[in-house]
Amino acid sequence: MAHIRYTARPLARCNGEPFHTAEEAWLWYAHCQIARDEGARFSAAVGAVARPCDPDDIVKEVQRLYRDRALRRSHLSVLGRFGRRLAPPDPWAGDTPGEASLWAEALDRLATPLRRKGIVA
């Protein structure tokens, strides 16, 4: 049986520009995921603005927060819904105050670990 070797991925040469908010980081991830679902492939440091992470780094942090029970299924549902829409909750679009509250709560809990990792300024 062949032995599988695991090697570290090379990091981008530049550190990249961190996001201003967790909301901006989440919507960037959602945009990248939609593009992936449509068949796009990503390469490091090719976009207009270099970022300090891969899109997967953001979703891994959300998954960790869910495993640690900092986020509930309702938070994930709201993040997914508005991520697919690529826009935060909007009362003019029929979004409820409860959804806006869950959105803000989820992003607030996500902001701290993303700041710690240098993804959000």
Q: What is the pLDDT along the chain (121 residues), one digit of tens a residue?
A: 667 766 555 544 447 899 999 999 999 999 999 999 998 876 655 667 888 899 999 999 999 999 999 999 999 999 999 999 999 999 898 999 999 999 999 999 999 999 999 999 9
Could you tell me if residue 75 is inside a domain?
yes
**Residue 12: per-residue pLDDT:** 46
Could you tell me if residue 105 is inside a domain?
yes
- pTM to 2 decimal places: 0.82
Query: What domain range is 107 assigned to?
Result: 22-39+53-116
Number of domains in the chain: 1
Could you tell me if residue 14 is inside a domain?
no
Could you tell me if residue 91 is inside a domain?
yes
Residue 93, exposed/middle/buried by CB under 10 A (0-12, 13-18, 19+)?
A: exposed
Could you tell me if residue 44 is inside a domain?
no
Tell me how far apart the alpha carbons of residues 114 and 22 are, in angstroms, rounded to a whole number. 7
Could you tell me if residue 31 is inside a domain?
yes
**Residue 77: per-residue pLDDT:** 97
Tell me how far apart the alpha carbons of residues 90 and 23 are, in angstroms, rounded to a whole number. 14
